[in-house]
Amino acid sequence: MPRTRRPAPGRGPQPPSALWPPGGRRRNHAVKREAVIRAAAQSFNERGYHNTSLDDIAAALGVTKPTVYYYVDNKEQLLFECFREGLERIRDAFRAVAQQPSSGRERLASVLRGYAEAIASEFGWCMVRAHDQDLSPQMARQIRELKSEIDQGLRRLIREGVEDGSIAPCDTKLTAFALAGALNWIAHWYREGQGMSPAEIGAAFMQVFEQGLRPRG
């Protein structure tokens, strides 16, 4: 993209925003870019992707639209970055257990807690409810690859748990789909500060999958 389409941030008449970090643009580029992505996630969450404009996001931050354009190319890229930010947190949860010597079931439980935290974050809505159709083919392909990696990761942990005897034999593919569905649905019902924490929900879901719907006895 030519440099001329990305003007340096202007100093508009907007009020200062708690979301927007202070300081010069050179020093805080990464921090400010992250603030733009976070504000986009919150706006998409509240109004939906198609009902949110870059003006809305700039207003939430108390900056001008050219300032937003300085950090991202367009609204589509913001959706992509929100997707990626949330998915990266889930990948972090997988990385954290990769070298652990514990059973497959314990590692799966740990991943589910991190997964629940990612979905309950401000990026959860984008990960679950935003549509591939709104992304460029290249971005949609990248997102599909990341999602597939997570699906395969869940299946692998379940399979390893079955192999080490910590999980009863089961259909690993369907079990992974059921787990992912239950967790992803958190984005639809979770409200911050009401009831359980995301990590508690992850742990409780592990219980539901371990003990729920078994005949009493």
Give the separation between CA 153 and CA 19, rounded to whole angstroms.
34
For residue 101, what are the CA distances in angstroms to 64, 95, 96, 161? 51, 13, 12, 12
CA–chain centroid gap for 39, Å, is: 14
Cα dihedral across residues 190, 196, 200, 206: positive or negative: negative
Instruction: Determine which residue in the list 129, 155, 156, 159 makes contact with a second copy, applying CB under 8 A.
Output: 129
Between 170 and 199, name the residue whose CB sits nearer to a second copy: 170
> Nearest-5° angle of CA 115, CA 120, CA 126?
95
Region near a second copy per CB under 8 A, out of 31-39, 59-67, 70-78, 172-180: 172-180
> Nearest-5° angle of CA 141, CA 108, CA 181?
50
Size of the site for a second copy (CB under 8 A): 49
Here the tokens at position 182 are: 């239950």
Residue 143 lies near a second copy (rule: CB under 8 A): no
Within residues 187-216, the interface with a second copy by CB under 8 A covers: 188-189, 201, 204-216
CA–chain centroid gap for 71, Å, is: 20
Between 12 and 181, name the residue whose CB sits nearer to a second copy: 181
Within residues 33-92, the interface with a second copy by CB under 8 A covers: 47-48, 50-51
Within residues 1-30, the interface with a second copy by CB under 8 A covers: none
Cβ 98 to a second copy, closest distance in Å?
A: 20
List residues near a second copy by CB under 8 A. 47-48, 50-51, 105, 108, 129, 131, 133-134, 158, 161-162, 165-171, 174-175, 177-186, 188-189, 201, 204-217
